[in-house]
Amino acid sequence: MDVVKHSVRDVLFAVILSGTFAVGYATCFITRRFNLLAALGVVQFFLEYWRRRIAGPPQSLAGNTGTLQHQLAGLGLGAMLSIIAGYFLLVLFVRRLGQSYFRVQAEVKLAGEIHASLVPTIQKRAGQFEFYGVSQPSGEVGGDLVDVTEAAGKWTGYIADVSGHGVSSGVLMAMFKTAMRTRLQEGDSPAQALNGVHQALLPLKPPHMFVTVAVLQGDGTNRIRFASAAHPPVLQYQHSSRNVIEHPPCDAPLGLLDGQNFSESAVESSPGDVFLILTDGLSEVFDRRGKELGMEPIKSSFAKNADRPLPDLLQSLRDVATTFGSQNDDQTILLMRHLA
């Protein structure tokens, strides 16, 4: 933009120098390494100063209009070609990025549809028990599972929570459901089913992934088998006393320890009792100040609304979490009522 004569070497050197530092500044902002901005500025200043010293005293073209016009035309043409090339590269980049984005979005949408078919809303009755369960993933694909199945004269209701989020957790969740249903179809008790699933999944899954799970199984009597692997406590509302009691987990998470064996215990149920299995996505909700919801507000709402229809009861429990803070994890609930 001046009337000084510039050689081709000077122009190319200036373009390379300024372009390199422009990329450097952009990289610092993208990677949030702001402490390097000052250092880059100092280095650029000294390099520009050194470049001007090497070039020597400038030669003015103020009185040579022909040479000046030729130089301005060349620099202007170079600027135009640079802008066109930059725009072309930007469009090419956006196009490739867009293709990759839409391909990933299509795959995630398909995975979400598969997840919805694997974890539908549960609303059924088996013997003296009615069930209602819902899983609400935090994204397109979740790692939570709620399921109720009947086989060999027994019903089994359970919730599983796969570590992590996204497609990888959803894949392991699908594997877990398949293996669990296969074991339950053979008439396994909760502990037997967890032992078999653990042995099947341990060599197939990534080492850092695991599953927490809580299982209740009934056979038409008031005695319910219970097993839990590092899952949040199962809550039981006792209709006779109007109290809520907790059944804590018995074992470590499934899929962590080689040779691990799972245990089970018995839970007594009476007509009017309601069981609640949930994942930690409801209790581990945080408000704007970083305070965690915890289990006590959920237990209080459970005791207060236990006599309501199961869909209304489930909604009241979800309302406790959603009004306290935003959902950051999959939220899954299974309710079981012992009918009179």
**116-169 pLDDT, tens per residue?**
788 999 999 998 999 999 998 887 778 899 999 999 889 999 999 999 877 888
Torsion sign over Cα 204, 205, 206, 212: negative
pLDDT in tens, 17-43: 888 999 999 999 999 998 899 999 999
Torsion sign over Cα 324, 337, 136, 230: positive
> What value does the mean pLDDT take over residues 299-304?
96
What is the pLDDT at residue 296? 95
What is the pLDDT at residue 194? 97
HSE (side-chain half, CA atoms, 13 Å) at 20 = 12
What is the pLDDT at residue 170? 87
pLDDT in tens, 206-260: 988 999 999 999 998 999 999 999 999 999 999 999 999 999 998 999 998 888 9
- Which of 69-73, 153-157, 331-335 comes out lowest in average pLDDT? 69-73
Burial 191-202 (b: 16+ CB within 10 A, else e): bbbbbbbbebbb
Average pLDDT, the chain: 91
Residue 186 has pLDDT above 90, yes or no: yes
Q: How far, in Å, are 87, 308, 320 from residue 305 at the CA level?
A: 62, 6, 12
What is the pLDDT at residue 3? 85
> What value does the mean pLDDT take over residues 255-276?
94
Quickly state the pLDDT bin for 11 (edges 50, 70, 90): confident
Domain ranges for the chain = 8-112, 119-338
- Domain at 119-338: CATH code: 3.60.40.10
* Residues β-bridged to residue 150: 155
pTM of the predicted model over 0.85: no
Which residue's structure tokens are 């990888």? Answer: 168
Categorise residue 61: left if φ over 0, alpha if ψ from -120 to 50, beta otherwise. alpha
Burial class, 204, CB count within 10 angstroms (exposed 0-12 / middle 13-18 / buried 19+): exposed
Is 147 within 8 Å of 176 (Cβ atoms)? no
What is the pLDDT at residue 108? 75
Is 144 within 8 Å of 159 (Cβ atoms)? yes
Quickly state the pLDDT bin for 64 (edges 50, 70, 90): confident
Terminal Cα-to-Cα distance of the chain (whole angstroms) = 91
Residue 187: how many CB atoms within 10 A of its CB?
12
Locate 320 and state its tokens.
């406790």
